[in-house]
Amino acid sequence: MPKDIAATADESARLGEAVNPTPGGRPAARDDILRVEDLRVAYRIGDREVDAVRGVNLSVGRGEVVAIVGESGSGKSTVAQSIMNLLAPNAEVTGGRIEFDGEDLIPLSERRWRSIRGRLIGLVPQDPALSLNPVRRVGVQVAEPLLVHGLATKHDAHDRAVELLEMAGLTYPAERAKQYPHQFSGGMKQRALIAGALAAQPSLIIADEPTSALDVTVQKQILDHLANLTQELGTAILLITHDLGMAAERADRVVVMKQGEIVDSGPAAQVMTAPTHEYTRKLIAAAPRLSA
């Protein structure tokens, strides 16, 4: 049976090669998994309101990698948190629409949200050290989305956790599954969190500065790994970073945010070589890897 499936997949890949190219080599009309329209978010601070996101439009196609780039405070995380319905209590969506796979997310109940978060949309958090529970075994935490969403029984969850840790590139995954976070390096923790985010095979992953807590070599390994896994599964990624070089290297399209607004966007190569906004030019000049 697995052989048959492999043969079929192979065949369709070959067919795809022959059939897919559209006139002019342009992709066929994009099938968006995520569409954000005129999103506005304000924070209340005392009796003041601060407009942190001021009319953001962006979309992510199925299997596409889109990066949001911008300096600290430009509103990147606020956009990500709006999409996951994880905004701070003093934040309010004051306008716009967020559509995921055709469903309008903003009016959804928290109950419906619990069935979406981790199942349809996965989150790779910024700081692996803060994101794992120190007193629970890593395997249990990696398999948690499967249990929460009823995708595995308690009995199967352990085996799945071992598989997921192996997929995450960890050696001795069965032993690793039984260990606690303090027995993992930073890079290993982030690999485990990526495994957890992909456990339920969501169609979109939101990664908010997923490697900023790690050193540069480990960053590259982790991002390569994330790219390989998501390509295999066809997972779309919304990658948030202040590093334009990383965005250009990893994303199909780049969206540049400044003070709550999008000032530039387009295919990564286009934004890098023909930025339309002065701010993007500044980011390019400031990115060490790019100006080198």
Ligand X SMILES: Nc1ncnc2c1ncn2[C@@H]1O[C@H](COP(=O)(O)OP(=O)(O)OP(=O)(O)O)[C@@H](O)[C@H]1O
Binding of residue 185 to ligand X (CB under 6 A): no
Helix (H, G, I), strand (E, B) or coil at 59: strand
CB of 115 to Mg ion, least distance (A): 26
Applying CB under 6 A, which of residues 12, 90, 94, 228 lies at the interface with ligand X?
Answer: 90
The only residue of 39, 56, 64, 77 in contact with ligand X, by rule CB under 6 A? 77
82 binds Mg ion (CB under 5 A): no
Under the binding rule (CB under 5 A), the answer on residue 211 touching Mg ion is: no
CB 205 within 8 A of CB 197: yes
- Per-residue contact track with Mg ion, 61 to 80, x per CB under 5 A? ----------------x---
Gap between the Cα atoms of 104 and 92, Å rounded: 17
Shortest approach of Mg ion to residue 215 CB, angstroms? 20
**72 or 291, CB closer to ligand X?**
72
Across the strands, what pairs with 240? 68, 208
- How far apart are CB 240 and Mg ion at their closest, in Å? 7
**Contact string (CB under 6 A) for ligand X, positions 19-58, x = contact:** ------------------------x-x----x-x------
Shortest Cβ 212–ligand X spacing (Å): 9
Strands 91-100 vs 103-104: parallel, antiparallel or unpaired: antiparallel
73 binds ligand X (CB under 6 A): yes
Q: Going along the chain, which residue ranges are E strands? A: 32-45, 48-61, 65-69, 91-100, 103-104, 121-124, 204-208, 236-241, 253-258, 261-267
Q: Which is nearer to Mg ion, 60 or 143 (CB)?
A: 60
Q: 45: Cβ–Cβ under 8 A, 6 or more apart, which residues?
A: 90
The span from the CA of 271 to the CA of 277, in Å, is 9
Q: Is-contact 272 230, C-beta < 8 A?
A: no
Looking at this protein, which amino acid is placed at residue 129?
Answer: A
Q: Which is nearer to Mg ion, 41 or 199 (CB)?
A: 41
Site residues, ligand X (CB under 6 A): 43, 45, 50, 52, 70, 72-78, 88, 90, 242
